[in-house]
């Protein structure tokens, strides 16, 4: 029962606090003034610097950790299986094979042209069968 009473008491105090912050003094509410003070007060400048330093330390620690893990991971893998350094399968034809294919293709085209010329010649010299 005491937990339920604590919950309702906290809820009521929260609502009262929010309503008090909405009171306007001049053209600004108490909430606006509090936010301005939190953001721009001289007390907050050193705290902001401490927070920025903490973020830089965390970034350096993270970079050091990831570099160390990558180095250790790469050392344990052989060169062929390292991520990012694998060679893709490359199928290459030898120059001799390619030259042979070109020669065969040109021979086929020549024989087809010769056959076509022969047909044309025979068609032109045959008597009409009417």
Residue 124 has pLDDT above 80, yes or no: no
Q: What is the predicted pLDDT for the residue at 62?
A: 94
Backbone torsions φ then ψ of 25, nearest 5 degrees: -125, 110
Residue 11 has pLDDT above 90, yes or no: yes
Listed by start position, the domains of the chain span 1-32
Task: Give the separation between CA 13 and CA 7, rounded to whole angstroms.
Answer: 10
Taking only the tens place, the pLDDT of each residue in 73-94 is 767 766 666 666 666 677 777 8
Task: Give the separation between CA 86 and CA 74, rounded to whole angstroms.
Answer: 12
Quick one: average pLDDT of 2-21?
A: 94
Residue 108 has pLDDT above 80, yes or no: yes
What pTM did the predictor assign? 0.36
Q: What is the predicted pLDDT for the residue at 57?
A: 97
Residue 55 has pLDDT above 90, yes or no: yes
Q: What is the predicted pLDDT for the residue at 6?
A: 95
- Joined together, the tokens standing for residue 48 give 């902001």
Q: What is the predicted pLDDT for the residue at 70?
A: 80
Q: Provide the Cα torsion 72, 77, 83, 86; round to 10°.
A: 150
The per-residue pLDDT of the chain, averaged, comes to 83
Q: What is the predicted pLDDT for the residue at 10?
A: 97
Percent of the chain beyond pLDDT 70?
85
Q: Provide the Cα torsion 100, 103, 104, 107; round to 10°.
A: -160
Q: Tell me what percent of the chain is helix, strand and coil, each rounded to the nearest 5.
A: 75, 5, 20
């Amino acid at each position: 029962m005491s937990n339920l009473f604590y919950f309702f008491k906290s809820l009521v105090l929260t609502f009262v606090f929010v309503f008090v912050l909405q009171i306007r003094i001049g053209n600004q509410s108490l909430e606006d003034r509090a936010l301005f003070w939190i953001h721009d007060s001289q007390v907050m400048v050193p705290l902001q610097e401490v927070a920025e330093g903490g973020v830089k330390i965390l970034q350096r620690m993270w970079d050091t950790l990831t570099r160390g893990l990558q180095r250790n991971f790469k050392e344990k893998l052989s060169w062929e299986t390292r991520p990012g350094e694998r060679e893709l399968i490359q199928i290459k034809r030898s120059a001799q094979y390619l030259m042979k294919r070109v020669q065969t293709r040109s021979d086929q085209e020549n024989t087809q042209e010769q056959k076509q010329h022969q047909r044309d010649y025979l068609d032109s010299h045959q008597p009409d069968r009417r």
